[in-house]
Chains A and B, each alone.
Chain A
């Protein structure tokens, strides 16, 4: 092979290597972009899962506290009803005394006593 042919052959090899290198780098860039795309998808999925999780937990918390409130409130009401019933019975047993107290005032006997 003469010198000129050898040089041409060498140049071809170099161009081929450059082209392969270009393709290799291009491939790496595409692969990197794919990784980023996959990461974006994963992030969207994570956001969606987090959003669902937060919604579910918010409902759980709201339900738990509301239930506690209702239970404590019902206990307060039960106790108040019992207390009111006792009070009503006491008031009933003392009604005659209260009627006397009213009569003393409306008949004007408190003033007469004072005088």
Chain B
């Protein structure tokens, strides 16, 4: 080969080698870089994902515990509600015993007289305010059983204290006990039957029962 041509060929070969190495070097670097970046990106995404899943799982755990705490409170409420209901039922049952034996040193007739008097005083006080003519005439309505406890003397005494005539009505009602007192014109009535008083006084009764049953006693 001619010397000049031989040099050209060698230069072409050398340049081709260099170009080949450059192409491969750049490709390797590009690949390494992409994989490195992709791995870092994956690791970062993994980290964020796991953290997010951990937060969700922790919230779920809290939700489970909150639900159980609520169920736990329901156990206490359930016991309280059942005990309150039972105390009220037992009290109504005890009324029959009270009719026979009295309660806390008071006979049932005197208890009835107290209820009649309370009702009569409420009505007469209301009637005075409205200046009604029939304010002085009141009738007492009871069950057949309770009517036997009411005497003329009792009504006379109540009439004196209430400031108006109180008489026994012919009408009889179904009730565990207690009394309805109404003005004879029927415009004002106070229902002091035990069932009605239980309904009316429910918030106070509930409070009393809870205090007695569930509050810690000292001493």
Contacts and interface: CB of A to CB of B under 8 A. Distances in A.
A30 to B, nearest CB: 10
Contact of A53 (B12, B46, B192, B209): B46
A43 B34 contact: yes
Interface in A1-34: 6-7, 9-11, 13-14, 16-18, 20-22, 24-25, 27-29, 31-33
Contacts of B205: 101-102, 105-106
Interface in B1-46: 1-2, 4-6, 8-9, 12-13, 15-17, 19-21, 23-24, 26-28, 30-31, 34-35, 38-39, 42, 45-46
A102 B2 CA distance: 130
A83 B60 contact: no
B188 interface: no
A81 B38 contact: no
Nearest to B31: A39
B16 A58 contact: no
A58 B212 contact: no
A103 B91 contact: yes
Interface stretch (B47-55, B124-132, B152-160, B163-171): B47-55
A45 B53 CA distance: 23
A106 B15 contact: no
A87 B42 CA distance: 56
Contacts of A98: 83, 87, 208-209, 212-213
B36 to A, nearest CB: 11
B172 interface: no
Given A14-B5, A20-B16, A58-B49, A108 B111 contact: yes
Contacts of B201: 105-106
A97 B91 CA distance: 10
Given A17-B13, A18-B12, A66-B57, A54 B103 contact: no
B58 interface: yes
A39 B34 contact: yes
Given A10-B1, A10-B5, A106-B91, A101 B61 contact: no
B198 A80 contact: no
B101 to A, nearest CB: 12
Interface of A: 6-7, 9-11, 13-14, 16-18, 20-22, 24-25, 27-29, 31-33, 35-36, 38-39, 42-43, 46-47, 50, 53-54, 57-58, 61-62, 64-66, 68-70, 72-74, 76-77, 79-81, 83-84, 87-88, 90-92, 94-95, 97-109, 111-112
Given A13-B5, A87-B76, A102-B91, 4 more contacts: A10-B1, A21-B13, A64-B57, A99-B94
Which 7 A-B residue pairings sit nearest by Cβ, starting from the closest? Answer: A73-B68, A10-B5, A80-B72, A32-B27, A21-B16, A69-B64, A65-B57
